[in-house]
Amino acid sequence: MIVQNPILKGFNPDPAICRRGDDYYIAVSSFEWFPAIPVYHSRDLSHWTLHTHVINDRHLLDLRKLRSAKGIWAPCLTWSEAEGLFYVLYGVMNSMNGRYFDVDNYLVSAENIEGPWSEPVYLHSAGYDASLVHDDDGRKWVVAVDWETRDNYQGAISVVEYNAESRSLIGYPQRIWSGAFEIGAEGAHITKRNGYYYLMCAEGGTGYGHCVTMGRARNIFGPYEKDPLNPILTSATAAALHAPLIINKDSAEAFDKDYLRRACFNPDSYLQKSGHASYVENDNGEVLLVHLCARPLRPELCCPLGRETAIQRMYWSEDNWLRLSSGGNLAQEGMETGAVGGSQGAGVVEHHIQFDSAALDINLYAPRIAADCFADTATKAGYVTLRGQESLCSENNVSLLARKLTSLDTTVSSKMDFSPQVFQHSAGLVLYYDNMNYLFLQKTFDEQTASPSLYVIHLDNGLKREDHLDEIHPEQAELYLRLNIAGRKTFFSWSVDGEQYQRIGKEYATALFSDEYSRYGEFTGCFVGMACVDSLYHRAAAHFAFLHYRADESKKIS
């Protein structure tokens, strides 16, 4: 069977893979979204399902007032066979202002992947992309990016010992590796094999120059020998990778996106931005590596789906370095699993979310806060009720319930019961990249006509635009709302019966909702869902009967 990459479509970056017996698990970044730290599961490496979240308790994580793309970065999921415990080490990025990376790193553990997880242990704030090493002598080490803010200094990967009994670190982190190209290494994982500590890193920025490099040493503190064929995995050509990476500290922007390195785009590769990897070896000696990737619209080089996760088969060479089984170092679109069958393709995904139980669907998320702060299924039977709060521009309390967008050929629909009384009341269907870039088909109240009105709001890098094209004034009754994403084009429609739909609003470029276009955010991806706003008393409610998601995930992005 051929596995088609990416295996985790849509916003699923920075994968960390581990194995417990025949079960494979991948944890990915969640940034400002809650619940936090999604964990996917598979037994055949072909079919992956969202299995659980490490942080479901809103009392354990406060993401309010964090800017877009802050929050939880690059969780490290590991399994300790000796202890019978899963560990997750995660960092909460609080700020990148002034290019200071203010992050707090925590460690939790559990006997089962579903939890319950232990209370978080604070480790340090020395750097981001932290990971945990289980040494064969029982010791544990914390690895992280030792970020550098001083002029004329370069950051490095650091390591410090963790004392499991005192639940604290021993001494200060020591720098061990500046990367294969010495232009900034991150996303580090250390594993031990045949007496060597293997250090796997991401280099070149998490854009089109992204790549995976390795080094090894007999001692965890080094010195580390560089893999002579670095990078071992990338999407970029060798010539592009060796072009200088310029970090512009004098940029007028709060965070300059020079890390994107568009000049490294490789037109011959379907997967782009390949990097930030981790690997696992099974009992048969198979080595499986998962890595971040992206699929941009071309020639715009914008990725509305954000950074995704792919898988590659690797092997150990005779000189004990990891190599891509297909040869070379370019990330492959497909991977053979050895299972009987043909090509594994996602095809058309139909996901009909109903609200007939107290628990919300596992695929639903909210920005910065837990959904139980504003959503319930008890108020109106068969519906989810969203209590309106602040505007969708807010970085605080927003009533948005959404799922990840996994294809640029997608239709999303819902039936809404909402009776706005004043213009501060609004509810409807949303395409949301972040609080500064979204589309909102909203039903609100118009005092001039003393009636509800339905039209589109477009937030374009913080600039609010009202789109009154084909605006309607519906009765205070239920409406069907629909969002269509057809490649480069995105538009809304509405219906009174769920059968005959009429267009409303303009046609928008899908590329506007992407990492590359966003001026204030990065690293995430698009969500689609339902929202309610009451910026007056925070109590008006909208009721949604369902959220229907239909996506053709087999279509290539081009």
3-state secondary structure string across 436-472:
CEEEEEEEEEECCCCEEEEEEEEEECCEEEEEEEEEE
The whole-angstrom separation of Cα 276 and Cα 466 is: 40
81 a catalytic residue: no
Nearest Cα residue to 24 out of 330, 377, 279: 279
The stretches of 180-312 forming alpha helices (DSSP H) are 238-241
**CA dihedral of 503, 505, 507, 508, whole degrees rounded to 10:** -140
β-strands 343-344, 2-4 pairing? parallel
Q: How far is CA 409 from the centre of its chain?
A: 20
The Cα 66–Cα 396 span in angstroms is: 8
Q: How far, in Å, CA of 493 to CA of 504, rounded? A: 5
| Residue 440 CB neighbours (<10 A) | 25
Residues listed for the chain: 558
* CB hemisphere CA count around 286 (13 angstroms): 15
From edge to edge, which strands make up the β-sheet containing 16-20? 16-20, 23-27, 36-42, 49-55
Residue 426 burial (C-beta neighbours within 10 Å; 0-12, 13-18, 19+): buried
Nearest to 409 by CA among 10, 92, 109: 10
- Structure tokens that stand for 99 in this block: 């290019």
- Asked about 467 being catalytic, the answer comes back as no
Give the C-alpha separation, 482 to 272, whole Å.
Answer: 31
CA distances from 57 to 65, 71, 110, 303, 372 (A): 18, 15, 15, 31, 10
The secondary structure of the chain in percent helix, strand, coil, rounded to multiples of 5, reads: 5, 50, 45
Beta carbons of 309 and 291 less than 8 angstroms apart: yes
The active-site residue out of 186, 434, 534, 553 is: 186
CA distance readout (Å), 455 to 289, 440, 448, 501, 542: 46, 8, 15, 15, 16
Residue whose pair of structure tokens reads 């084909």 in the numeric block? 470
Write out the catalytic residue numbers: 14, 186
